[in-house]
Amino acid sequence: MVSRWTRTLIPTLREAPAEAESPSHVLLLRAGYIRKLGAGIYDYLPLGYRVLSKVAQIVRQEMNAAGAAELSLPVLLPIELYSGTRRDADYGDLLFKVTDRKGAVAALGPTHEEPITEALKGCVSSYKQLPLNVYQIQTKFRDEARPRSGLLRGREFLMKDAYSFHTSVDGPGGLSETYDRMYAAYVSVFRRCGLRFTAVEAESGPIGGSASHEFMVDAESGEDTVLKCAASGYAANVEKCEIGARQRGSLGLAAGAQPLAEVHTPAMPGIEAVAAHLKTAPQRMLKTIVFAVLGRAGEPAPAHRWVAATVRGDHEVNEGKVRSLSGYAVALADERAARAAGFAIGYVSPRVVGAVPGTLVLIDEDASADGPWVSGADKADHHVTGFDWRREIGGALDDPGRVRVGDVRNAMAGDPSPRAAGSRLETGRGIEVGHIFKLGTKYSEAMGFRVLDEKQQQRPVIMGCYGIGVSRTMAACVEMSHDAAGIVWPMPLAPYHVLIVPMKAEDPQQAALAQRLSAELASGGVDVLIDDRDERPGVKFKDADLIGVPVRLTLGDKALAAGSVEFKLRTDAGKGELVPIAQAAERTLAAVTAGLGGAPA
RNA sequence: CGGGCUGUAGCGCAGCUUGGUUAGCGCGUUUGACUGGGGGUCAAAAGGUCGGCGGUUCGAAUCCGCCCAGCCCGACCA
């Protein structure tokens, strides 16, 4: 198709609004793709909407190819829908709520597990109707505590969400089969979008195993850390990433043992401050974080009430790993409750294993080396030096009911790979654009969605769910691909493939040529924008770079006199290359086709 | 939700400390002329509830109070 600059709306800005900071936010605003209406709420102007539509179209094609059926669910959801799964409480303030004239409360859908389960519950009752995979591309709402970075974290955003339904996990028609197919479809989607990305293992769903993957666009500005092992291809996010075999310490008495000494460290709960004050390094310190064991209604009271996890000062405790090693559902302890129980929050030491009843201490392998260590002193504003595991804790170390050693910290760059001996983990930053996981029966059980199996037994349906942030993908692409002058779109997502720039818009020869070229390209399936504004060349070139259309054809006097036009890719420097007019369309078509991955446009 | 900060023309900002003509500047916009290969020059013009409400005062963009909106850091993030 062909558009004219003067007949569409592309309000480019020389200066970015002060509130925008991240590259995608600044550039999408400056290049006239989006406008802000409120915090985390944006207009998609014509360029932005074209990109958004292209992402959505690629997603749609791949979902259809993967055997999913498109539908559309309401955004306005009666709050009662959430009562069964308790997600109104889980979501808390994240859920947007509206009240109607009768006082009834509805939520604006943040995701659609409940409504889809409700919908299918009404029309699927036999195993013969399964498996089923349905999806929608729908606006979602989340009342984010802090919307930020433009489209990357909005309060209103476009998302593709798919849900699959099965009677088994394994075998033909099972959840795993669809999960694998969706994984492959996601790889296709992001490849076709022209993105550099990594699929990483994420926190497991209720079924266990590698039941969840996140798709992360590689971008320096990403909020998430991705760990990768080059040798094995293993990749995971920080929450999930395992660490390969490490040297386990002996928890012994240090050879050069020092006496335990208490030092005054006023108002210094932080590792860094204490290390500086005591002229030691965080690697020589122990950090102990207290978690509360969550009792489950209807189950016997757990043997422990608290879990204290000790890691080296330069490491971070990983809550999921604390959960696995302890075997308990835990949450970071409420500060007041923990203080009341006897924990000097901010100054806790592993000695709490004896001092506070019902405490299980988890020691990370790196923290299990011989002392002496610097640790909290279990009283406010004090630390101890010369801490020695064997001497301070003694017998508890040998009682697995009181102390366990294992992996309880976040992986870091340089840690041993869990999949390839001798290989080390590397880190990168990413932006999460897709997430797939095996849900299991959480929603179907909570909402009573059962089908009759071949043995005439009622069985809760097994579910999977699969999300892609469509608007976020658009922004992530800009984060991944831009330069000082503006956006650099990959061909598949570009709002237009080609920008034709007649230097003098009112020159009849140039106008006619622009017309002819664009018609020829359009007939080949190319999207063309003609900059027909009566602007100075500098303005047109600056805007061309800013909006980031991949191919630029410049129509100027000198080149035309020589029977040529200038052909330039956005990624090329300079004015571009002279191409005879007769070959211009063909050359452009080839570039567009190549940029689309060889697929017909 | 904690910490820091900002609201003055479409965008970027000054003015506020020390209250006092008609609230300025740059960019953008409009009109005209000259120009025409990386945001050009000249001339003229349009455009403002100074975030809102209340207070102090003869007088408030400026001082005080409350509220609202927004940004950044952190917490949080299916």
Domain boundary residue among A375, A406, A437? A406
A209 and A285 assigned to the same domain = no
Helix (H, G, I), strand (E, B) or coil at A238: coil
Going by the DSSP 8-state scheme, the letter that residue A103 receives in this structure is S
Name the residue range of residue A295's domain.
261-406
- What is the tens place of the pLDDT at every residue in A373-383? 999 889 888 88
Protein A18 CA to nucleic acid B8 C1', in Å?
A: 15
The CATH number given to whatever domain includes residue A330 is 3.90.960.10
Count other C-beta atoms under 10 Å from residue A585's C-beta: 22
Least confident of A22-31, A61-70, A92-101: A92-101
Is the Cβ atom of A569 within 7 Å of strand B at any atom? no
Residue A578 — very low, low, confident or very high, per pLDDT cuts 50/70/90? very high
Please indicate, yes or no, if residue A577 is contained in any of the structural domains: yes
Q: What is the ipTM of this complex?
A: 0.93
A125 and A161 assigned to the same domain = yes
Is the Cβ atom of A15 within 7 Å of strand B at any atom? yes
Residue A527 — very low, low, confident or very high, per pLDDT cuts 50/70/90? very high
Tell me the Ramachandran region of residue A250: left when phi exceeds 0, alpha when psi lies from -120 to 50, beta otherwise.
alpha
Residue A155, CA: closest nucleotide via C1'? B77
CA distance A94 to A97: 9
Residue A468, CA: closest nucleotide via C1'? B78
Residue A472, CA: closest nucleotide via C1'? B77
Count other C-beta atoms under 10 Å from residue A247's C-beta: 10
Residue A539, CA: closest nucleotide via C1'? B39
Closest by CA to A106, choosing from A70, A115, A449, is: A115
Is the Cβ atom of A146 within 7 Å of strand B at any atom? yes
Please indicate, yes or no, if residue A601 is contained in any of the structural domains: no
Please indicate, yes or no, if residue A413 is contained in any of the structural domains: no
Is the Cβ atom of A561 within 7 Å of strand B at any atom? no
Over 90: is that where the pLDDT of A35 sits?
A: yes
- What is the tens place of the pLDDT at every residue in A62-88? 999 999 999 999 999 998 888 766 666
Please indicate, yes or no, if residue A357 is contained in any of the structural domains: yes
Please indicate, yes or no, if residue A4 is contained in any of the structural domains: no
Over 60: is that where the pLDDT of A209 sits?
A: no
Please indicate, yes or no, if residue A13 is contained in any of the structural domains: no
Average the pLDDT over A514-529 and give the result: 97
A268 and A344 assigned to the same domain = yes
Over 60: is that where the pLDDT of A520 sits?
A: yes
Average the pLDDT over A547-566 and give the result: 95
Going by the DSSP 8-state scheme, the letter that residue A294 receives in this structure is P
Chain B positions within 7 A of any protein Cβ atom are: 1-2, 11-13, 26-28, 35-40, 69-78
CA distance A585 to A522: 10
Preceding omega of A131 cis (within 30 degrees of 0): yes
By C-alpha to C1' distance, B75 is nearest to: A145
Closest by CA to A587, choosing from A560, A553, A555, is: A553
Please indicate, yes or no, if residue A412 is contained in any of the structural domains: no
pLDDT averaged over every residue in chain A: 90
CA distance A377 to A349: 6
pLDDT score for A575: 85
Protein A578 CA to nucleic acid B78 C1', in Å?
A: 52
A52 and A118 assigned to the same domain = yes
pLDDT score for A259: 84
pLDDT score for A99: 86
Protein A153 CA to nucleic acid B5 C1', in Å?
A: 21
Closest by CA to A284, choosing from A325, A248, A314, A329, is: A314
A511 and A383 assigned to the same domain = no
A216 and A81 assigned to the same domain = yes
The tally of domains found in chain A comes to 3
The CATH number given to whatever domain includes residue A191 is 3.30.930.10
The CATH number given to whatever domain includes residue A556 is 3.40.50.800
Protein A149 CA to nucleic acid B63 C1', in Å?
A: 36
Residue A432, CA: closest nucleotide via C1'? B77
- What is the tens place of the pLDDT at every residue in A400-410? 889 999 999 99
Q: Which two structure tokens, joined as six digits, stand for A274? A: 């204490």
Protein A47 CA to nucleic acid B11 C1', in Å?
A: 20
Is the Cβ atom of A562 within 7 Å of strand B at any atom? no
- What is the tens place of the pLDDT at every residue in A507-519? 999 999 999 999 9
A445 and A590 assigned to the same domain = no
Residue A29 — very low, low, confident or very high, per pLDDT cuts 50/70/90? very high
pLDDT score for A600: 43
Over 70: is that where the pLDDT of A208 sits?
A: no
Strands across the sheet with A105-108, in order?
A76-78, A105-108, A96-99
Average the pLDDT over A36-46 and give the result: 92
Q: Which two structure tokens, joined as six digits, stand for A473? A: 């993908």
pLDDT score for A254: 65
CA distance A304 to A326: 10
A269 and A360 assigned to the same domain = yes
Over 50: is that where the pLDDT of A316 sits?
A: yes
Least confident of A153-162, A274-283, A383-392: A274-283
Residue A546 — very low, low, confident or very high, per pLDDT cuts 50/70/90? very high
pLDDT score for A72: 97
Protein A487 CA to nucleic acid B32 C1', in Å?
A: 36
Is the Cβ atom of A559 within 7 Å of strand B at any atom? yes
Query: Do the strands A462-469 and A425-440 form a parallel or antiparallel pair, or are they unpaired?
Result: antiparallel
Over 60: is that where the pLDDT of A344 sits?
A: yes
User: Which of A485 and A268 is assigned the larger pLDDT?
Assistant: A485
Average the pLDDT over A550-569 and give the result: 95
Is the Cβ atom of A556 within 7 Å of strand B at any atom? yes
pLDDT score for A292: 86
pLDDT score for A251: 79
- What is the tens place of the pLDDT at every residue in A255-302? 667 888 888 887 666 787 788 888 888 888 999 999 888 776 667 778
Residue A13, CA: closest nucleotide via C1'? B11
Domain boundary residue among A406, A437, A464? A406
Q: Name A residues 355-414 whose Cβ lies under 7 Å from strand B.
A: none
Average the pLDDT over A491-520 and give the result: 95
Please indicate, yes or no, if residue A417 is contained in any of the structural domains: no
A440 and A529 assigned to the same domain = no
Q: Which two structure tokens, joined as six digits, stand for A138? A: 């729908």
Residue A394 — very low, low, confident or very high, per pLDDT cuts 50/70/90? confident
Domain boundary residue among A377, A406, A435? A406
pLDDT score for A85: 66
CA distance A557 to A315: 64
Q: Name A residues 471-490 whose Cβ lies under 7 Å from strand B.
A: 485
Is the Cβ atom of A516 within 7 Å of strand B at any atom? no
By C-alpha to C1' distance, B39 is nearest to: A539
A236 and A88 assigned to the same domain = yes
> How many CA within 13 A on the CB side of residue A326?
33
User: Which of A325 and A380 is assigned the larger pLDDT?
Assistant: A325
Average the pLDDT over A167-192 and give the result: 96
A202 and A275 assigned to the same domain = no
- What is the tens place of the pLDDT at every residue in A97-151? 888 888 888 999 999 999 999 999 999 999 999 999 999 999 999 998 888 889 9
Protein A503 CA to nucleic acid B36 C1', in Å?
A: 9
pLDDT score for A19: 84
A101 and A222 assigned to the same domain = yes
pLDDT score for A601: 39
